[in-house]
Copies of this chain bind each other. A is one copy, B any other.
């Protein structure tokens, strides 16, 4: 499995993904699940993927190939040249639909699962920040102020902390902490999600990758957050009132 989370705050977008893949518990791999397309100051589009790796690699390959062609041929529409980010989500949905149409029946006939989901986040100059989740069928939803985050993959372990702290006006550094705590809870409880992590921050109206980092096992600040959170939870827990029997 996978865990990826995207947060859309007034201050910007925060994306965090893990890198573990597994085909059965005895076949573990490490694959980047975050892909960034950038024309700094003009447009930034980031994708995160979950689900069948062959399917998601097929989708990303299609998107990448079309972006490359669109840079030399203005008749070609890609996520970097299309009019809006909404249209970019549609293009990812169309790529997903094509790959599913090609591969799904064959995958399922082998007893494997072909489902896949993609988070698309970004902004173009003059547009709003957008955060979408594209499903296997190619349809998609968008994050709003009521629900300013989207998760794909193993989303349940890390949802409670996001439910508690993420609001549209959460500052970026708090949002990064919340994403890391959400990932930390998932890493501790589910072996199918694993280090290293990829973190991307896109500040509002900068239309570029403002901050991007691979977080390895020994990353000092992530370890600090993980350890501080563990200690703080233990303290918080022991401070709770007791139910008298």
The distance in angstroms between the C-alpha atoms of A154 and B156, with both chains bound, is: 9
Q: Assuming A173-B245, A245-B172, A245-B201, is B239 touching A156 (CB within 8 A)? A: no
Closest to A158 in B: B160
Decide if A243 is an interface residue (CB 8 Å cutoff). yes
A215-229 vs B: 1/0 string, CB under 8 Å? 000000110110011
Q: With both chains docked as a complex, state the minimum distance between the C-beta of A229 and any C-beta of chain B, in angstroms.
A: 6
Count how many chain A residues have C-beta atoms less than 8 Å from C-beta atoms of the other chain: 45
Select which of B160, B164, B210, B229 is within 8 A of A234 by beta carbon: B164
Q: Which residues of B are found within 8 Å of A29, using beta-carbon distances?
A: none
Closest to A242 in B: B173
Q: Which of A45-53, A119-127, A131-139, A177-185 contacts B (4 or more CB under 8 A)?
A: A177-185
Are A234 and B180 interface neighbours, CB within 8 A? no
Among A177, A180, A211, max chain B CB count under 10 A is at A177
The distance in angstroms between the C-alpha atoms of A228 and B177, with both chains bound, is: 21
Closest to A178 in B: B237
The distance in angstroms between the C-alpha atoms of A6 and B140, with both chains bound, is: 39
Q: Assuming A241-B225, A243-B221, A245-B211, is B176 touching A233 (CB within 8 A)? A: no
The distance in angstroms between the C-alpha atoms of A174 and B237, with both chains bound, is: 8
Q: With both chains docked as a complex, state the minimum distance between the C-beta of A167 and any C-beta of chain B, in angstroms.
A: 12
Q: Assuming A225-B241, A229-B240, is B163 touching A189 (CB within 8 A)? A: yes
Q: Which residues of B are found within 8 Å of A235, using beta-carbon distances?
A: 232, 236
Closest to A230 in B: B164
Closest to A171 in B: B242
Are B243 and A177 interface neighbours, CB within 8 A? yes
Decide if A157 is an interface residue (CB 8 Å cutoff). yes
Q: Which residues of B are found within 8 Å of A238, using beta-carbon distances?
A: 174
Closest to A187 in B: B160
Instruction: Please name 13 further chain A to chain B contacts, defined as beta carbons within 8 Å, in addition to the given A163-B189, A232-B237, sorted by A numbering.
Output: A154-B156, A160-B189, A164-B237, A174-B237, A176-B243, A177-B237, A177-B242, A201-B245, A221-B243, A225-B241, A228-B240, A232-B235, A235-B236
